[in-house]
Structures are given as structure tokens and as C-alpha cells.
A = this chain, B = another copy of it.
């Protein structure tokens, strides 16, 4: 398992990590397998969405900010309950196929680390499961 460090500059941000994950796959030499991504934080998440137009990520962030208010009638005293809620709504893991040494992603898909309570230094776990010949297709 590899671990990436992700640095955010703002409280909320979508950070494109596609090329970093692909570099880990390329370095491993794995041709066919599964890539498990796990965010070991409770106020961040990971998603796959459009990377070509940055307005898509900003629309998603703006939607979440409006619908999950930063200040609300929350009981958790740290002032970041909104970030915990967003983490559960978006999710902290992603599983993606790898074929011929490349992440299988659609034309417009990028992988985004979602920061909801930054700025901070965060980690992203990347676990590669190579499908050996014994594993079949």
C-alpha cells in the first residue's frame, strides 16, 4: 500500500489526484488489477467526476456548502460537523479497475480528493490488487 500526501490551501477544495495515482500504478508495473483508494480522515472524501471544466467541481462544492451549512444546530463542538456529513455523503473510498497498466476512467473522469475542513495536510491510501494469471479475467 502506498500513501500520498495531499496539501489543501482552502477550507473546501476538490484536488485532482488522477495523475498521482496513475504514477503509483505505473511504478508498480501492475497491468491488470484493482485500485482501492481510501481516505483515512473523517472530514474529507474521494470522488470521481469531471476534470475538464473546473466549474463542475466548484458547482458540487457550492451545492454541498449550501445544503450542508457550516454553522448549524450541530452537537459536535468542533465546528466541522458539516465536513463530517459531507464525508459520509460523498464517501471515503473508491475502487477502480486497472487494465493494461492504466486506470480505467471515462473520457471526462478525474479522481478528486475532497477537502471539507482544510487547509491541512492529508493522506490518501492507494492499495493495488494485481490480478495474477491464477485469478482469471
Chain A residues proximal to chain B, CB less than 8 Å: 1-2, 28, 30, 34, 36, 38-42, 47-50, 53, 55-56, 58-60, 62-63, 67-68, 72-78, 81, 84-85, 87-97, 99, 104-109, 123, 125, 127-132, 134-137
Contacts and interface: CB of A to CB of B under 8 A. Distances in A.
A89 B87 contact: no
A104 B1 contact: yes
A63 B42 contact: no
Given A41-B106, A42-B106, A75 B55 contact: yes
Contact of A63 (B50, B68, B107): B68
A45 to B, nearest CB: 9
A96 B37 CA distance: 8
For the complex, would chain A's binding face be called helix, strand, loop or mixed by DSSP majority?
Answer: mixed
A94 B78 CA distance: 26
A56 B80 CA distance: 9
A95 B95 contact: yes
Given A50-B84, A84-B49, A104-B125, A42 B28 contact: no
Contacts of A77: 53, 55
Given A40-B109, A53-B76, A34 B87 contact: no
A105 to B, nearest CB: 6
